[in-house]
Each structure stands twice: as structure tokens, then as C-alpha cells.
Amino acid sequence: MAGHSKWSQIKRQKAVVDAKRGVVFTRLAREITVAARQGADPAGNFQLRTALEKARAAGVPNANIERAIAKGAGQGSEEGDSFEEVRYEGYGPGGVAVLVEAFTDNRNRTAADLRLAFGKNGGNLGENGCVAYLFALLGVVWLEGDGPLEEEPLLELLMEQEVVSYALEGPQGEIWCELPALERLHRSLAQAGWPVQGAELRWQPQTLVALPEGEQLSQLERLLDSLENLDDVRSVSCNLTTPEAS
């Protein structure tokens, strides 16, 4: 019986992992589809090139990638034309600002799903503009190598770039820049041999809210998980910080 119980648990865990992988694959395929509207050749389409990097790093099958590019380029299906980028804003427990970006073909469905997730986890979906002013949209290039990244040679390269900030931790790193500088920064790091894993636009909070350990923090974590597990959601940003960092 113990063996049966363990196997059942393993199967349940695998189902959860597979479900999350399915959400990620769907999300990345939509990102490729939307990016491919500006051109199906990644050499001349930086947005598509970075979307492809993310998809390949996540293990999205080549067949899925090719199908997504074809949809965006208008080949064989009109589905690519039905998706639009939409931003939603709201508040989580403790007044934490939450900003959600989505790719959707049905705004009513997506808004209803988001409203339910906020309502079940102590938050509320707000009007456009209610929290966006608390964030700045920046470009991010992330690195991941086989060993710790060396800060000094990286700084030498970054001195020549328009960088807002950077953070290194062991083999991983993130470099933030203004939007117009993202493609140049990405190219410079890759050409210099740094282990570039991808690049994207990301909302960086400008004003932070601290929540102590407790029910509000647990509720917020559940809210963020619920939002990230929705098929239509592309990214979730919030302005939470730890009490120690505030």
C-alpha cells in the first residue's frame, strides 16, 4: 500500500508539473505569434528573436514554435490576428500594487478570470492607470553561466552601455536598461561571450510596499500564483519588498 501511495503522489506531482509546463508553452507560443506580426524573420525582428530565445530555453518543441510563427505571419490561420496585448491593474492584500500583462482573444473572459483570482485571494481588480504609475517599463537581459559571474569584467562592458542597474548572484545575473538600449545591450553582451539567456521588457516597481510574515503575505503569494497559472497571463509584477529591504 505504501508503494501505491507513493506512486499516486508522484503521478499527482507530475500532473501539476505538466500542467504548469502547458501554461508556459501556451504563453510563450502566443508571445511568438504576436511578435511575428512584425516579421517572421528573427534576424530583422528583435522582439521575435527574444521570444524564440525564451521558448527554446523553456523547451518548447520546434513544431510549436514554427506553428506560432506561421500564425503570427498570417500563414494558414487567422488565430494570430485575434490576440492582443492587454494590461490589467489592481491591488493585492496589504495594498500591494499588482500589474498583469496578458495576451488574449477575449477581453471579457480574461477580465473575469482575473477578477475571480483577485477576489478569492484578498485583492481587487482596479481601473487602468490605478497602479501603473508606480512602475517603470525597462529592458532586462538575464545571464546564466556554469559558474559565478565575475563582476569586474562585466562592469567594464556595462560602462559603455546605457544601464540603469544590475544584480549578480552566483552564476545568474540581470541587467536593466532603458527600452531603446535593450537590443544594443543584448547584442554587446552576447558578442563579448557572456552567457545571455534572453531579454524582455519588464515592469520595475518604483515605490515598494513591505508585508510582514502572516496571512496577508500568504494571501498575496496565493494571488500571484493564481494569476501566473492563467493561460492568458503573460507576466505578473508587484511592488512587494521584504521588511528588511524596505
The reply to whether 76 and 92 lie within a common domain is no
CB under 8 Å to 183, separation ≥6 — which residues?
Answer: 46
Give me the number of domains the chain comprises.
2
The reply to whether 60 and 91 lie within a common domain is no
The reply to whether 110 and 71 lie within a common domain is no
Instruction: Identify the sign of the CA torsion 10, 57, 206, 136.
Output: negative
What mean pLDDT value characterizes the chain?
A: 85
Residue 23 reports pLDDT greater than 80: no
* Residue-level pLDDT at 14: 37
The reply to whether 178 and 115 lie within a common domain is yes
Which residue range(s) make up the domain with 165? 83-246
> CATH no. for residue 28?
1.10.10.200
pLDDT band per the 50, 70, 90 thresholds, residue 75: low
The reply to whether 197 and 107 lie within a common domain is yes
The reply to whether 61 and 110 lie within a common domain is no
The reply to whether 123 and 239 lie within a common domain is yes
At 24, list the grid cell: 508556459
At 29, list the grid cell: 507560443
Q: Which of 9 and 106 is assigned the larger pLDDT? A: 106
The reply to whether 54 and 119 lie within a common domain is no
| AA identity, residue 95 | G
Among candidate residues 101, 102, 34, 25, the one with its CA nearest the CA of residue 64: 25
Final residue belonging to a domain, choices 53, 81, 109: 81
